[in-house]
């Protein structure tokens, strides 16, 4: 049977053989064109926005996981990659966020009820910028994988998951984590920050032993927009190891929650007080940890509710 092409409202669709990705293209707001690969037919669609050293094909190992979870997937080539190009304006190469918006709007036009964007590094910054200038409700969720910083993260819309490796350093030896934490803290909620062990940057994490966990974190976050996740039992809050003040009574300290496997989970501002008896007390309202048990004023420990006041952990 001959496979043809379809052109509808400026969108080029090239059908693929069964089990393969479909090639599509669609216009951008500045007169450019984005080429992409798509698969799946779920009503929740995900845009995959590659890092600066990658192309749309770089997501091929992760795409089956998204499809198995019921998502529709659209992996784009940014302008200047593959056959994608920007508009005629002189500074078109800087308007990469328009490629993300074009992908989001393409998915909306073609039946998606919910649209999420997963952006890595350079692509993460483009996704974040798109979430600033998008119309209200266009982008529902953002997954920012070691994303480059933007000037105004306070204006980002949608639920946000920031993910990075703890020892991810720039070429000049500067750690990325402080900037990512700053973007996380300035962004409006709901939001989460997940810090994985290792040093690989953005999509390169998929080439490490963290690959399965990384994909699981992304899929789990996208899978339940109604609650901030409680996928596994949480253990009591721990004082940050790097904070030399955590031993001092009467001092406010930053807290983190950790799962039994030791993986750190940061959700919203979390502050605690070491009282005069040496017990770690949660400041009322400081813990914004929604769980299936529902009460943000309590922690979840091995599936049980526990009052916010917990013994201070030993050094």
Q: What is the pLDDT of residues 153-207, one digit of tens each?
A: 999 999 999 999 999 999 888 999 999 999 999 999 888 899 999 999 999 999 9
**Is 90 exceeded by the pLDDT of residue 53?**
yes
Q: What is the pLDDT of residues 105-147, one digit of tens each?
A: 999 999 999 999 999 999 999 999 999 999 999 999 999 999 9
Measured CA to CA, the distance from residue 309 to residue 315 in angstroms comes to 18
Contact 94, 118 (CB under 8 A): no
Residues shown for the chain: 315
Sign of the C-alpha dihedral computed for residues 164, 100, 71 and 6 taken in this order? negative
Q: Which two tokens stand for residue 8?
A: 């509808």
Can you give the three-state secondary structure of 271-303, one letter per residue? EEEECCCCEEEECCCCCCCCCCCCCCCCEEECC
Contact 62, 215 (CB under 8 A): yes
Tell me the C-alpha to C-alpha distance, in Å, between residue 216 and each of 58, 68, 104, 124, 310.
18, 12, 23, 18, 30
Measured CA to CA, the distance from residue 311 to residue 314 in angstroms comes to 9
Measured CA to CA, the distance from residue 66 to residue 48 in angstroms comes to 10
Q: What is the pLDDT of residues 54-113, one digit of tens each?
A: 999 999 999 999 998 899 999 999 999 999 999 988 888 889 999 999 999 999 999 999
**Is 70 exceeded by the pLDDT of residue 248?**
no
Contact 36, 56 (CB under 8 A): yes
What residues form DSSP beta bridges with 75? Answer: 37, 48
Closest-CA residue to 176 (of 117, 228, 125, 243) = 125
What domains are there in the chain, each with its CATH number?
6-223 (3.40.50.1820), 235-311 (no CATH)
């Amino acid at each position: 049977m001959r496979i043809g092409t379809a052109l509808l409202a400026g969108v080029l669709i090239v059908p693929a053989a069964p089990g393969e990705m479909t090639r599509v293209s669609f216009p951008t707001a500045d007169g450019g064109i984005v080429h992409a690969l798509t698969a799946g037919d779920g009503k929740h669609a995900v845009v995959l926005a590659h890092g600066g050293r990658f192309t749309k094909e770089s997501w091929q190992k992760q795409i089956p996981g998204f499809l198995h979870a019921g998502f529709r997937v659209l992996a784009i080539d940014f302008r200047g990659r593959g056959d994608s190009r920007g508009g005629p304006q002189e500074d078109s190469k800087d308007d990469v966020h328009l490629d993300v918006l074009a992908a989001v709007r393409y998915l909306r036009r073609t039946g998606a009820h919910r649209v999420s964007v997963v952006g890595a590094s350079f692509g993460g910054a483009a996704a974040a910028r798109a979430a600033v200038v998008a119309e209200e409700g266009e982008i529902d969720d953002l997954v920012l994988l070691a994303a480059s910083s933007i000037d105004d993260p306070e204006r980002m819309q949608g639920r946000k998951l920031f993910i990075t490796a703890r020892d991810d350093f720039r070429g000049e030896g500067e750690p990325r984590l402080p900037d990512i934490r700053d973007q996380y803290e300035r962004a409006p909620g709901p939001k989460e920050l997940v810090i994985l062990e290792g040093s690989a940057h953005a999509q390169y994490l998929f080439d490490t032993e963290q690959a399965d966990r990384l994909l699981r974190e992304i899929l789990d976050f996208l899978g339940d927009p109604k609650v901030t996740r409680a996928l596994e039992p949480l253990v009591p809050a721990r004082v940050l190891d790097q904070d030399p003040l955590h031993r001092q009574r009467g001092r406010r300290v930053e807290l983190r929650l950790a799962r039994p496997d030791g993986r750190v989970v940061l959700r919203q501002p979390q502050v605690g007080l070491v009282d005069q008896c040496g017990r770690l007390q949660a400041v009322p309202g400081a813990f914004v940890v929604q769980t299936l048990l529902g009460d943000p004023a309590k922690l979840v420990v091995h599936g049980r509710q526990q009052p916010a006041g917990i013994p201070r952990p030993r050094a």
